[in-house]
Structure 1
Amino acid sequence: MKILEANAGALTNFEVLHFLRAKGASKDPTRVIAKVAQSEYKVYDYLVNTAASAQTRENIKDFLTSVKQHDLAKAEVLNILNTRPVAEVEIFPMIENCEERFPDEEVSEIVELVKKTLPPPLIMKQEETATLKNEQGKEISQDQNENEGGEQMDTS
């Protein structure tokens, strides 16, 4: 690999995670074989639990294309990409003078754009799935308990 331009700009968490995976961080469970430093494994462990773990180049490209209309600075776009805010409250600290620069409707548009184009972190997906299963399990067990209770009453 040849470096074309040193310090060309800040990297997204997705790019850093992709780089660490290319070095072998995800393939070596013992963390001895791959040419990855211990500090890089710590970064990898952190990034796997963030929004970057579920993002793809296509998601990022779609987001960057769509967000151009909102006149955000590169650093603001980078922060939004890396943190994937899902509420307006989370956007305000990321955008300088957000209240003065953007009306509430535009901030809502940015949040909806994030939700639409950037996938949630894998951990969030797993939590949603577990919650859904728990809710379904409780419904099923309540239905079973009601049925069992009714059957017991009938046989008594």
Structure 2
Amino acid sequence: MEPIKANAAFLCNYEVMQILQQLKDKTQKKNKRVESLATVTYETVHYLQDTECKNQSAESIQNFLEAMKIFKLTKAEKLMMVNTPPRTELEIQLIVQESEERLSEEDVQKIIDISNNYFPPT
């Protein structure tokens, strides 16, 4: 999983963690620049392993995004939902701009159910 063009797409936390783990595995040379990169990589992977992405897979993310197509959400809103799956109505209000106008109460509940289905709480 490597980005083809820099800045061409958003990466979710799961994808960042996968790329950094691959980079960490490839990096064996020892020089000052690589050691600094190794530290940043280690700290970032360590942080991400304590977030929701530790239980996600490429398949669960893809299935979640397919299920979310019925809602008119922006890419950034869907990305935030992948990184931090909404469990409450308040979380959806914080993620989706003008959610009261754009989503019905049933839509909000469907989004919560979809999030819990594809990204079960731990």
Query: Do both proteins adopt the same fold according to a TM-score greater than 0.5, normalized to the shorter chain?
Result: yes
Give 2:107's aligned amino acid.
Answer: E
The percentage of aligned residue pairs carrying the same residue is 35
- Could you tell me how far apart the structure 1 residues matched to 2:2 and 2:114 are? 35
Once residues 50 and 2 of structure 2 are traced to their aligned partners in structure 1, the CA distance between those partners, rounded to angstroms, is: 30
For residues 111-126 of structure 1, the aligned pairs below 5 Å read 111-120=112-121, 124=122
Q: Write the letter of the residue equivalent to 1:102.
A: L
Are the equivalent residues in 1 in contact too, given 2:2–2:19 (CA < 8 A)? no
Residues 44-123 of structure 1: pairs in structure 2 closer than 5 A: 44-120=45-121
Alignment match, 1:5: 5
TM-score between the two structures when normalised by the length of structure 2: 0.83
Partner of 2:95: helix, strand, or coil? Answer: coil
The AA in structure 2 aligned to 1:8 is: A
SS in 2 for 1:24: helix
Cα pair 1:51 1:119 within 8 Å, conserved = no
TM-score when scaled to structure 1? 0.66
Answer yes or no: is the 8 Å Cα contact 2:24–2:38 preserved in 1. Answer: no
Matched, 1:14 2:5: no
- Give the AA of the match of 2:12: T
**DSSP 3-state at the match of 1:93:** helix
Structural RMSD (CA): 2.1
| Maintained 8 Å contact 2:24/2:41 | no
User: How many angstroms apart in 1 are the aligned matches of 2:2 and 2:118?
Assistant: 32
Contiguous gaps of at least 5 residues in structure 2:
26-33
The alignment covers a number of residue pairs equal to 113
